Structure 1
């Protein structure tokens, strides 16, 4: 064995360095994806299939829309003038606030009660397969008369279903019987008549139900009563209320669901519920004002009548008194002075909070107060001089006038508000009521299928990349040489014809020379023969000694037997006598390549009695004095020939693995195997040994002691790079130098970055 190649390869790895170990080769990543195209396509098709099934499984979704305008101010009847609208306060409302109000239970609960939305019906006989098969399933329809659902064997109609708190959100089963129906919750069975209202008393409370129709006898239907909160929450989850645009005051309401008629009906009732509440809220202030006026008018009327009666009584008693002009002027001036005094006192009180009595402004106000008080005193003195009857007359006439003015004003406003209320509207008005379009908005089947296929493709690509990152498979011969320090002496392309034949399990293993002798694979085997022929160590030609080639691999399934059998065939073409030994006494299958039996082979020979085997040693000592014919005769007499079987091909003999021993490695380590090899080397030109995998057994390390060349077979795009490197290290630890690596089953094409390692067949292609 040549030990210089190891040092040369190590220096080669060192000279090239590790500069590209951590580089990200985008082209390599792309090629990884292309090589894993089957996985990517599989997941893409799987995603497409899931998308198709999902689009059929999900019920179609329908949508209804409505528009409402929110006005900033409530308007009365303009023809009545501004004075009326001033009497009723205006309420400004933002669209966002109203949107939240629409979603409240105050608006939704009346709709829930009107349409019996808390009652839920379901058909338990409809399974997942049925949903996919039918593309859509029937859903319940809620109306003011009740709830209905179309089933396979008929229709369900329930107009009333009220339960106690304990039975809320609990599923019951309705089943038609010969005499009526049965309502069951798993514990209690309640029997009733169809078309009649029933009141049942259960363990956890009362149940009120009216069933108008059911499917065929024995067909079960699930029924449940939801809580108000659960129902309104479910409505809010499919209800959208948003302002259309910015500060437009236009609210767009939309609702989605599985039934177009149901969605339109529910949304329509929500709009009407909101408008009714809005109108009630808009006239609330006017109503309160009218109520207050109605309580005050009788009181004011009574007060006016009382003041008029007193005044009339005074006039009757004293007669008509004409109050002079002077008295009227004095009274008017006195009233003005009182108003001025009150105003000045307020100003003084305000100033004294900031200034003292010595401040000029405070002093000025004090002076004005003094003047006004002086004038008021003069007027009082003048009035005091008037006759007592005149003063009483003035007082009574003034009270009567004031009471009359208040009463008439209130009565006038009351009548005006009644007119306003009759024509008053809310600040919200309906622009568009919801209508049924019967156009599905979901699922968007094409989009779902495309998206599912893309997701499947991405998942497949991710798995291929992860597999490539976690499982570094053998691909690049140059990388192998750098990693292992061992040259790749041959790359064996895959034979398409042989691959097709091997797919048929009934067909046995085939030799390339028999079925594909013009292929690139066969030419690569010949190139390997040439490399080995000129790479063998020089020995004395006077003494015949076979060249021993050990073929092993890092793991099972790399193609050792394929390489061993076909390599022996191309050596035999040179008229060389070749012996093939299947040394894998555990699972060797080399006998299938030659269509022979596995028995009466190497294991059987090594397990013979020691007395027979010692005769081989005596034969070996006498070999120098005997000719070849005599050697063959002696070997046959001692039993070696009984384990060597000629094949159907010229110049090729074969030793199968024999029966399975319990200690294959121990048999190989005995002296008997060394004696056997010494005897066989004198009879053949080449001995090719097919060894068990290095990582599976230690046999290859024992057999390597007898080999002139040790070759490691690895499979392209299948073997693990780390395992191959570890196998080479294990051989080196046993002082066995691996002389070369054979890269088997290389596939050529655009997907392979390293397709230039192929050989080219030169010859007849017919």
Structure 2
């Protein structure tokens, strides 16, 4: 765990160093993202929020009205849960009415980009824009029209083809004109414009307008048991946000009252329809009673008959009231409910008593029975008519006094400041994203563009051993022909090469051939520097060392060391010159050099010949170590042939220049002609 934590800290430290090193990438990313953030913050229109408070009451009709209504009062018990009311407010009925009244289907969008950035756009509120699109080709339907301001009071209207339709228009007036075989209607109810401003005019579908409204409209329950709802609406104009929200609140209040009165109104209508019929029945009963009395004269009704009559009237009144209560209860409960069952039992009991009362009345004389019957009909008709009149009056009082279950606590007021955009946050986020983008670019460049720089990653990915990580030297030798290992042995790059020398000495001491090939993937990796100074380090350590310049195309070791290399390896291979004729002394003790010689026409054939192997084997017998400087793998196949004789091949890589795949391919090429050679890596210019 400790090793892992240390590795992570190292990676972060390396990344920070890379970011500082690649400031030319990071700085433009940060500046560009900052500019984009400022532009976005200025481009987004300021948005204002208005809010209102509405209370939903759990209300029942009680008190005086409940007492007046008696059993009918239970019909108008009302409960309004907040969740239900929120969904009702969001319905198309409520929102759609507000959209129609506030003309939210119509849009007038300013088109000037600079004025938008500077927040100096004009404002135009459309009242109507009706275009007969049905008479146009499908591809033209829905294209915007245009309003071009002539001065602060007048403007012209152009169609989607830039054809002028209305001229010198004013706000508050409605304009109509024949257009496309029909009529176009246009009007503006509010504007605040300047000369030269231009607006796009268009109308959206009502359902789209409702969905757009819902995106800016929100309802929150201010506590689950408070019954208080908070309406909020956002708009680019604070006065319009306030007007729209108040319209929603008033519309909801109005519809809530109407919804509360609807049951009472329905019952009132039914009762008023029944009233003429009940009155006619009462008049008819009274007429029959009076007619019978005229026919038979006065009839003496004794006390017993009167008691039977009063008892029957009372039972019929109780039955009527009970049946009314039962009908009210049926509207509220299922037929199996205990309340309904109780009413039915009481009704049956009264009917049985009425039947007994009818039996008693049959014992009376015939005239008294008839008088009793007609009197009973008159009394029942009067009771029914009077009860109906009372219910109608009570329902009228309920309907007139019903205020609904909604109360507007606070009408809408807009906040004095814009809630969006949050400019500081937008700019901060943009800068943060710019930093992330710069880090991503540096990381990608580090991983793919610049190539490998981490020895551990290289070893894990390729299986090759990194024997040295050579940093760039900051020292310039005063004598160009003297190797840095001699003139400045304490330089950091020479210290790193000493590790390479130690590794190679260990391998050679284990029985490997004392022949080391130095190659590279691409020119400029520094294999000449590595070859020269590695050979010098071996020589300084007391080993008799030979440096062979096998770059027959562009070799320049002789010139670099300050030796006249007219005779070299190419003459030995091409003309069979003696080996000794090409060996040159250097200023470094124990170090000798075979230059590349004259450039031959066929260097690859010379290096792949048997003569080359024989020469190298002969030299290996004379010297403790032979270091062969070869061409780059990227330029020619000479390096592959030159390394055939080596038992140790050091492939020089420039840090952050080569990908993993390129390194694998280079190692595979070197092993292709010398499978027994041990290939290692020197990471140079770190």
> Structure 2 length as normaliser, TM-score?
0.71
Q: Quick check: 1:550 aligned with 2:532?
A: no
CA separation of 1:244/1:701 partners in 2, compared to 1, >3 Å: closer, same or farther? same
CA separation of 1:451/1:313 partners in 2, compared to 1, >3 Å: closer, same or farther? same
CA separation of 1:285/1:594 partners in 2, compared to 1, >3 Å: closer, same or farther? same
Q: How far is the alpha carbon of 1:477 from its aligned partner?
A: 7.0
C-alpha separation in 1, matches of 2:111 and 2:237: 19
C-alpha separation in 2, matches of 1:237 and 1:451: 24
Counterparts of 1:538-617 in structure 2 under 5 Å?
550-555=517-522, 558-567=525-534, 581=549, 583=551, 585=553, 594=560, 616-617=575-576
C-alpha separation in 1, matches of 2:301 and 2:528: 146
Q: Quick check: 1:222 aligned with 2:211?
A: no
Match of 2:492 in 1: 520
1:424 to 402, 406, 411: 402
Tell me whether 420-429 or 38-47 shows the greater mean CA deviation.
38-47
Q: How far is the alpha carbon of 1:94 from its aligned partner?
A: 2.5
Match of 2:607 in 1: 668
Q: Quick check: 1:210 aligned with 2:178?
A: no
Q: How far is the alpha carbon of 1:728 from its aligned partner?
A: 4.1
Secondary structure of 2:413's counterpart equals: coil
C-alpha separation in 2, matches of 1:54 and 1:115: 30
Describe the superposition over 1:702-750 as per-residue Cα deviations: whole angstroms up to 9, x where unpaired: 1124558643223456555565455445434423654674533475xxx
C-alpha separation in 2, matches of 1:52 and 1:379: 101
CA separation of 1:310/1:710 partners in 2, compared to 1, >3 Å: closer, same or farther? closer
2:144 to 171, 181, 184: 171
CA separation of 1:527/1:698 partners in 2, compared to 1, >3 Å: closer, same or farther? same
CA separation of 1:163/1:485 partners in 2, compared to 1, >3 Å: closer, same or farther? closer
Q: How far is the alpha carbon of 1:117 from its aligned partner?
A: 0.7
Q: How far is the alpha carbon of 1:238 from its aligned partner?
A: 2.2
Match of 2:158 in 1: 183
Match of 1:713 in 2: 652
Match of 2:329 in 1: none
Tell me whether 267-276 or 390-399 shows the greater mean CA deviation.
390-399
2:52 to 66, 81, 85: 66
- Whether contact under 8 Å (1:74, 1:426) holds in the other structure is no
- Whether contact under 8 Å (1:473, 1:719) holds in the other structure is yes
C-alpha separation in 2, matches of 1:184 and 1:413: 62
Match of 1:16 in 2: none
1:399 to 369, 377, 387: 377
CA separation of 1:699/1:736 partners in 2, compared to 1, >3 Å: closer, same or farther? farther
Tell me whether 206-215 or 652-661 shows the greater mean CA deviation.
652-661
- Whether contact under 8 Å (2:68, 2:394) holds in the other structure is no
- Whether contact under 8 Å (1:645, 1:654) holds in the other structure is no
Unmatched runs of 5 consecutive residues or more in structure 1? 1-19, 139-149, 344-368, 502-507, 539-546, 607-611, 636-643, 748-766
Q: Quick check: 1:264 aligned with 2:242?
A: yes
Match of 1:639 in 2: none
Tell me whether 251-260 or 34-43 shows the greater mean CA deviation.
34-43
C-alpha separation in 1, matches of 2:586 and 2:16: 45
Secondary structure of 1:429's counterpart equals: strand
- Whether contact under 8 Å (2:464, 2:680) holds in the other structure is no
CA separation of 1:392/1:378 partners in 2, compared to 1, >3 Å: closer, same or farther? closer
Q: How far is the alpha carbon of 1:122 from its aligned partner?
A: 1.4
Describe the superposition over 1:538-574 as per-residue Cα deviations: whole angstroms up to 9, x where unpaired: 9xxxxxxxx9753103455543233235446768989
Q: How far is the alpha carbon of 1:689 from its aligned partner?
A: 4.4
CA separation of 1:105/1:185 partners in 2, compared to 1, >3 Å: closer, same or farther? same
- Whether contact under 8 Å (2:516, 2:650) holds in the other structure is yes
Task: Count how many residue pairs are aligned between Structure 1 and Structure 2.
Answer: 628
Match of 1:357 in 2: none
CA separation of 1:560/1:204 partners in 2, compared to 1, >3 Å: closer, same or farther? farther
1:744 to 680, 683, 686: 683
Unmatched runs of 5 consecutive residues or more in structure 2? 135-139, 323-350
Tell me whether 53-62 or 104-113 shows the greater mean CA deviation.
53-62
Q: Quick check: 1:690 aligned with 2:625?
A: no
- Whether contact under 8 Å (1:582, 1:602) holds in the other structure is no
